[in-house]
């Protein structure tokens, strides 16, 4: 879904997790036994544009996906586009 929105993102591994990079670090994925986490490094700046966002502090926010039904494609795409717009600034 991330690369469909912007195929120019580069995928790399940082801190043992997939990280998507453009001008800077934009997204990360992290997996546990019970969920996959989609994180946005500057998510605090777009927090209001996504439901069920977790995280505190100045920077990153993430959404936990426990089942495919948890993915609201339209909402995720809006969040992805907002994060990319922040990265472009």
DSSP one-letter code for 7: T
Q: How far apart, in whole angstroms, are the C-alpha atoms of residue 49 and residue 82?
A: 8
Question: What tens-digit pLDDT sequence spans the chain (89 residues)?
Answer: 899 999 999 999 999 999 999 999 999 999 999 999 988 888 888 756 655 676 666 788 888 899 998 888 888 888 889 889 988 88
> What are the DSSP E strand ranges found in the chain?
10-14, 17-21, 25-31, 36-40, 61-65
Q: How far apart, in whole angstroms, are the C-alpha atoms of residue 84 and residue 6?
A: 8
* 76: CATH: 3.90.1150.200
pTM to 2 decimal places:
0.82
**For the chain, how many structural domains are there in total?**
1
> What is the domain extent for residue 15?
2-88
User: 75: buried, middle or exposed (CB in 10 Å: 19+, 13-18, 0-12)?
Assistant: middle
């Amino acid at each position: 879904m991330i690369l469909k929105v912007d195929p120019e993102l580069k995928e790399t591994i940082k801190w043992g997790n997939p990280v998507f990079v453009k001008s800077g670090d934009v997204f990360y994925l992290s997996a546990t036994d019970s969920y996959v986490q989609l994180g946005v490094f500057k998510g605090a700046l777009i927090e209001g544009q996504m439901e069920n966002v977790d995280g505190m502090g100045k920077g990153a926010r993430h959404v936990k996906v426990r089942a495919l039904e948890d993915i609201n494609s339209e909402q995720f795409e809006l969040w992805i586009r907002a994060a990319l717009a922040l990265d472009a600034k």
